[in-house]
Amino acid sequence: MLGALLIALAVAATPTSSTKSKGKSKPASTKKAPAAPAESAPTPPATAPAATATPEKTDVQPGQKPKLGLDGMGRTPEEQKQLDDLQEMLRSYEAESHDFKRDVQLLVEKKYEEKRSDLAASYEKAIRDIEVNERKDRLDAIAQFEEFLQRYPDEARYTPDVMFRLAELYYERSADDQAVAMRAYEDQLKRMDPSSNAQPPPEPAVDFRPSIALYRQLLDRFPKFKFNDATTYLLGYCLEKQNDFEGSQQAYHDVIDDYPKSKFVTEAWVRIGEYYFDDYDDPDALPQAAIAYEHAIQDTKSPLYDKALYKLGWTYYRQDRFQPAVQRLRRTRWRSMRPSSSRRSSRPTSATGS
């Protein structure tokens, strides 16, 4: 039974294999021919996306315009051309808007500089006019005070006060003359040719000799004048600015010795300390500066207290006395953070120190 079944299967298989091998069976080939396209039908769609895939990005060569996001979005060549034209218009608009923005910025800056220059020129003119009026008023006051002293050289009630005020006017005139000379000196330096190697002109020096002479007369002729402490201090200040350091130091010590309760004592100590602090040639200068600043910080209510405290700490530091230096500098930093900390120039503008 089993053998008969095997023989039947062998007989059934023989025509198929022979047909495939010899190629003589037409019906077998016509039946299988349609089957081949059915099995290979899915193949064309698999290759279709490759035709519409986005091309790989390539580097833009020098001089070549980069392609923007509208490339390849047109469904037809006509649409793509329209998109390319639109793309070029956008590029041109961006370039023109950038140039316009730059032009507007340059115009605004130019107008600002013109306005600023005009405003500065108007202020300078106003300041020059004020300075001219001040000089005229100062010269008138000097002439009137000088005439008073010629008429009343020994009037005990008014002559000392006139002498004191006249010395102040002399000081202001000398300082103003020096400021005008410095402006001319700076203009002369600007006009010099750097390549000429020419020697620059000497810097103009201030001349406080009229004030110094009048302060000394006031102290000699009226030793009981109520503002002689300020007179002595201002004498020392003017001598210091004239580089007469020996005379200035003597005047400051006279303030300390002759007027121990004067408000100018602290300022005199600070001036003495500043002199020794800046003297790098004297090996004993720093100890002298420390002594002066230590006296100055005794007056904790003085407007110069913070400065004296700071310079004392700095002096200790230069002496390699680091622990007291750190203590003074820390205290200075703490006081500098306080809103009530005050600073002002150490030269008063009147007998009252205001």
87 contacts 68 by C-beta, under 8 angstroms: yes
Regarding whether 231 and 162 lie in a shared domain, the answer is yes
Average pLDDT rounded to a whole number, residues 189-204:
84
- Between 75 and 307, residue with greater pLDDT: 307
Is residue 38 in some structural domain?
no
Is residue 89 in some structural domain?
no
Is residue 235 in some structural domain?
yes
- What's residue 51's pLDDT? 45
What is the pLDDT of the chain when averaged over all its residues? Answer: 80
Is residue 300 in some structural domain?
yes
- What's residue 285's pLDDT? 95
Regarding whether 179 and 225 lie in a shared domain, the answer is yes
Regarding whether 267 and 235 lie in a shared domain, the answer is no
Is residue 110 in some structural domain?
yes
Regarding whether 341 and 270 lie in a shared domain, the answer is yes
Regarding whether 243 and 313 lie in a shared domain, the answer is no
Is residue 317 in some structural domain?
yes
Regarding whether 156 and 242 lie in a shared domain, the answer is yes
Q: What is the pTM of this model?
A: 0.63
Distances (CA, A) of 244 to 207, 240, 247: 12, 5, 6
Is residue 236 in some structural domain?
yes
- What's residue 32's pLDDT? 44
Domain, as residue range, for 128: 97-138
Average pLDDT rounded to a whole number, residues 158-187:
94
Average pLDDT rounded to a whole number, residues 36-53:
45
Regarding whether 333 and 299 lie in a shared domain, the answer is yes
Regarding whether 132 and 214 lie in a shared domain, the answer is no
**pLDDT single digits (tens) 92-117:** 888 888 888 888 888 888 888 888 88
Number of structural domains the chain divides into? 3
CATH number at residue 286: 1.25.40.10
Smallest CA-to-CA distance from 207 within 245, 181, 228 is with 181
Is residue 255 in some structural domain?
no
pLDDT above 60 for 29: no
Regarding whether 279 and 240 lie in a shared domain, the answer is no
Regarding whether 309 and 276 lie in a shared domain, the answer is yes
